[in-house]
Amino acid sequence: MDPIDAKILNLLQEDCSRSLAELGRAVGLSTSGVNERLKRLRARGDIRAYVALVDPQALGYATCAFVQVAVEGQENEQAFLAAAMDMLEVQEIHHVSGEFPLLLKLWARDIAHLEDLLNNTLKVQTGVLRVQTSVVLSSPKDHVTGLNAKP
């Protein structure tokens, strides 16, 4: 990755709706030059997606929680992951070290909805041994900020 690619990535992380012309002006390239670089960055997997970060509360989801899950057996874990990935409320899933190998970030409409998700969707999955939930009280930083791309 050269310095121009890095600058393009950094600009897109600030605002992915920037036009090719705007990116070109910022890095000193033509629109077609930026377009070619973006194609190459996407083909290499350096750019995974362009997304809009929507405020969950604007969609009626007021409660955020982190749910740690321990599942017995690889087969059960794979089935649990498949079910969790299909849940609209589950925003992130991470395989982590420690007593609870799975960490989920989810959004619920309210505490009652969270309780329903835990008791009637997550805990009932085959092989679930333990679930530990932390409800988010506030989030001083809750949005994706880009890593500084280095050439």
Q: Give the number of domains in the chain.
A: 2
Same domain for 125 and 103, yes or no, is yes
Same domain for 21 and 62, yes or no, is no
Over residues 26-64, the pLDDT tens digits come to 999 999 999 999 999 999 999 999 888 889 999 999 999
* DSSP 8-state symbol, 74: H
Same domain for 38 and 66, yes or no, is no
Query: Secondary structure of the chain: what % helix, strand, coil (to 5)?
Result: 40, 20, 40
Kindly report the pTM of this predicted structure.
0.83
Same domain for 66 and 88, yes or no, is yes
In one-letter notation, the amino acid at residue 97 is S
Cβ atoms within 10 Å, residue 86: 8
Same domain for 13 and 67, yes or no, is no
Q: Which residues form the domain of 112?
A: 56-135
Cβ atoms within 10 Å, residue 124: 10
Supply the CATH number for residue 107's domain.
Answer: 3.30.70.920
In one-letter notation, the amino acid at residue 85 is M
Over residues 96-130, the pLDDT tens digits come to 999 999 999 999 999 999 999 999 999 999 999 99
Burial annotation 30-51 (CB, 10 A radius, 16+ → b, else e): eeeebeebbeebeeeeebeeee
Cα torsion through 42, 47, 52, 57, rounded to 10: 140
